[in-house]
Structure 1
Amino acid sequence: MTTGEIRLAIDAMGGDKGASMVIPGLAVALLRCPNLVFELFGDRAALEAEVAKHPTLKDRVTIHHTDVSVPMDAKPSQALRMGRRVSSMWQALESVKSGTSAATVSAGNTGALMAMAKFCLRGMPGVDRPALAAIWPTIRGESIVLDVGASIGHDTDNLVAHALLGAAMSRAVFGIDKPKVGLLNVGEEEVKGLEEVREAGAILRAGTFPHMRYEGFVEGDDIGKGAVDVVVAEGFSGNIALKTAEGTARQLAEYLRMSIGRTLRARIGYVLAKPAFARLRDKMDPRKINGAVFLGLNGLVIKSHGGTDEYGFASAVELAHDMVRNDLQARITSDLAALTESKELANAG
């Protein structure tokens, strides 16, 4: 476990509101994690004005000026052309590559961040395609779901590697010694699903993985049940599952709002049940689980939702803090090396 100061690189111009959301978020995160130090990348005048509003940040930030920020609607290829080496997003990633910072946090354009991170940091040995991992609220607590959209079209080896990545993140973030891992499929039977998923399942069943326990195939409704600690999905299906869950949550909230105000009896019932509704709202608050992680790169990159507020951004910063403190990258490196060794032994045999 890493102790002492943890230095994070912050793309301070990312997100819908830029520095006016990012800087207050850092102040909130610093209250919860006092050992944080920040390297800020963005417009110096805007950053200095925001930092001045939060005295606790005065001695905890270093500002690096750049005039360029990546637009939220920029295409990845466009962002690479215009923002490579000069944008706040790229420079934050370079801070991790150089070893100055332990992780990057950005609320900027997701596609641009993925493209720049892959180009700047490169993939770890054994990882052909990095994965975007999200923390998912469940009936039993929280699970990790990956890939939720970093790339489309994973092959068998990608799915097996992502199982190890997700298990390593579960160990680092949730402290689970041997996380339960499942592959998202259209059914639990071994004969169902895409060939790549079936083949990955066979490898995970037959292999020896000391830091995870493979549970087999899981279906979409198993995610919310918390049937496993880690759900491994192909990027296309994982992204659809994530967006469907977000949309369903908003739909149910709107149904509830409409029902509460429909009759006097309903309004009275709401008053009586207000504490229960408050607990539900707290449980479903997306700001508490804000922050998805690009796994499989030679450096930690955390993507905050662009439309979040300072409390949501603070959650993404705290996630970065926890993963650095619990040596996520070292865990992943060890697990991938073991996977490579097992493949070499199998081929030699």
Structure 2
Amino acid sequence: MSSPILISLDAMGGDHGPSVVAPGVRDYRKRHGGEGVRFILHGDETAIRAEMAKCGLTDDVCIVRHTDKVVAMDEKPAQAMRRGKGSSLWNAIEAVKSGEAGAVVSAGNTGALMAISKLLLRMSAPGLERPAIVASWPTPKGVTAVLDVGANIESDAAQLVEFAIMGEAFMTAVHGVARPTIGILNVGSEDMKGHEEVREAARLLREGGFGLDYFGFVEGTDIAKGTVDVVVTDGFTGNIALKTAEGVAKFIAGLMKEALTSSVTSKLGALLAMPALRRMSQKIDPNANNGGPLLGLNGIVVKSHGGATSAGFGAAIRVAVELARSDYMEKVGANLQRLTTLLEDPIVSSAEEPVGESIQ
């Protein structure tokens, strides 16, 4: 049996606050069982207890920590750090810092969550300026972890290797992949393609002795194919890729809806195809893969979509529980130490380094 664990929840974060957080706890327990998992809900006690009562959640499942202070969804990170102490978001993260909770989940302000998490928990690697945000990208094979998708605009070779280390451990802990394959997002799969940082990161992954299953360079089309389990890139490129995919998905969904409602015959066809359409919708539903950890912190922090449903928030809780129960932190720590040693005493590659860049 797994060891008992406490998950800290920012009950006031997101678009809906306790009206989604409490049902999210119920949904998690319904889908995954509640054995050995309890929750600390931070926020307005009256509002939280009202939602707990609706969901049949009792004090043996949820501990309520009252605060009437909330970080607004549009509050700037600098303001949140100055004025956020004592808020539901701050207190939820503080529970992880103190060791009381194994992980924290919030649907609140992303910038504030990142800034306060970094302030309270600190970074686990000296080279990382900010936590890396990981997205679980649906593919025909399941999901692919893509990181970073927005936190670190520029990343050097060492940071890209750190992303690979963290992404590999994430895929094992949360998605159960025993030996995840890793690729670096590039403008082509050939070794001579890309800028110096991605080529150096590739060399470090090949020769660094990290024990990772490095596949090589991958292109944008490989993400949705599921060519590798982990795709590594800088936050600028990753965020554009993610937003582009979301936009294309909405565009195609709109075209399908228009086509399936354009005539009586089309509507009849849509009715016959409804079971298959529902399965497809569930596969690409953002709520099904909700929960993006902020990797690289000295503690487990999971960001939920601000507009997530109760099922979506429950999915984010699952990510937090799986990470907290795994050896993720120890595994990452060992490989990051290996990287630090490697950078202090670099490997001299016998292979001739390619010169220049090429984009085709």
TM bracket, shorter-chain basis:
over 0.9
Look up the equivalent residue of 2:128 and give its one-letter code.
D
2:42 paired residue number: 41
Distance 2:51 2:300 in 1: 26
Summarize deviations over 1:67-118 as a string: whole Å, max 9, x none.
11111111111211221x2111111111000000000000001111011111
Distance 2:164 2:287 in 1: 26
1:215 paired residue number: 215
Distance 1:125 1:57 in 2: 39
Distance 1:141 1:326 in 2: 20
**1:286 partner SS:** coil
Look up the equivalent residue of 1:7 and give its one-letter code.
L
1:178 paired residue number: 179
- Answer yes or no: is the 8 Å Cα contact 1:27–1:57 preserved in 2: no
- Once the two structures are TM-superposed, the CA of residue 30 in structure 1 deviates from its matched residue by 2.0
Look up the equivalent residue of 2:152 and give its one-letter code.
S
After TM superposition, what 4+ stretches of structure 1 lie above 6 angstroms from structure 2?
none
Look up the equivalent residue of 2:206 and give its one-letter code.
R
Look up the equivalent residue of 2:10 and give its one-letter code.
D
Look up the equivalent residue of 2:144 and give its one-letter code.
S
**1:271 partner SS:** helix
Distance 2:289 2:144 in 1: 11
Distance 2:33 2:183 in 1: 32
**2:21 partner SS:** helix
**1:13 partner SS:** coil
2:353 paired residue number: none
Distance 2:3 2:215 in 1: 37
Alignment of 1:146-165 (within 5 A): 146-165=147-166
- Once the two structures are TM-superposed, the CA of residue 43 in structure 1 deviates from its matched residue by 1.1
- Once the two structures are TM-superposed, the CA of residue 347 in structure 1 deviates from its matched residue by 7.0
Question: Which shifted more, 246-255 or 334-343?
Answer: 334-343
Look up the equivalent residue of 1:282 and give its one-letter code.
Q
- Answer yes or no: is the 8 Å Cα contact 1:52–1:58 preserved in 2: no
2:143 paired residue number: 142
**1:273 partner SS:** helix
- Once the two structures are TM-superposed, the CA of residue 344 in structure 1 deviates from its matched residue by 4.2
Look up the equivalent residue of 2:275 and give its one-letter code.
P
1:258 paired residue number: 258
Summarize deviations over 1:32-85 as a string: whole Å, max 9, x none.
2312201111111111211122223432111111111111111111211221x2
Is 2:319 aligned against 1:310?
A: no
Count the aligned residue pairs: 346
Look up the equivalent residue of 1:168 and give its one-letter code.
A
1:69 paired residue number: 70
- Once the two structures are TM-superposed, the CA of residue 12 in structure 1 deviates from its matched residue by 0.5
2:26 paired residue number: 27
- Answer yes or no: is the 8 Å Cα contact 1:51–1:58 preserved in 2: no
Look up the equivalent residue of 2:244 and give its one-letter code.
T
TM-score (norm 1): 0.95
Identity %: 47
Alignment of 1:264-283 (within 5 A): 264-283=264-283
- Answer yes or no: is the 8 Å Cα contact 1:127–1:296 preserved in 2: no
Question: Which shifted more, 89-98 or 331-340?
Answer: 331-340
Question: Which shifted more, 107-116 or 29-38?
Answer: 29-38
**1:189 partner SS:** coil
Question: Which shifted more, 2-11 or 247-256?
Answer: 2-11
Distance 2:308 2:171 in 1: 24
Distance 2:239 2:58 in 1: 36
- Once the two structures are TM-superposed, the CA of residue 141 in structure 1 deviates from its matched residue by 1.3
2:9 paired residue number: 10
- Once the two structures are TM-superposed, the CA of residue 327 in structure 1 deviates from its matched residue by 2.4
TM-score (norm 2): 0.92
2:191 paired residue number: 190
- Once the two structures are TM-superposed, the CA of residue 19 in structure 1 deviates from its matched residue by 1.0
* Unaligned 5+ runs, structure 2: 350-360
Distance 1:92 1:52 in 2: 22
The 3 A distance-change label for structure 1 pair 342 and 155 is closer
The 3 A distance-change label for structure 1 pair 183 and 57 is farther
Look up the equivalent residue of 2:66 and give its one-letter code.
H
- Once the two structures are TM-superposed, the CA of residue 205 in structure 1 deviates from its matched residue by 2.1
* Unaligned 5+ runs, structure 1: none
Distance 2:127 2:313 in 1: 28
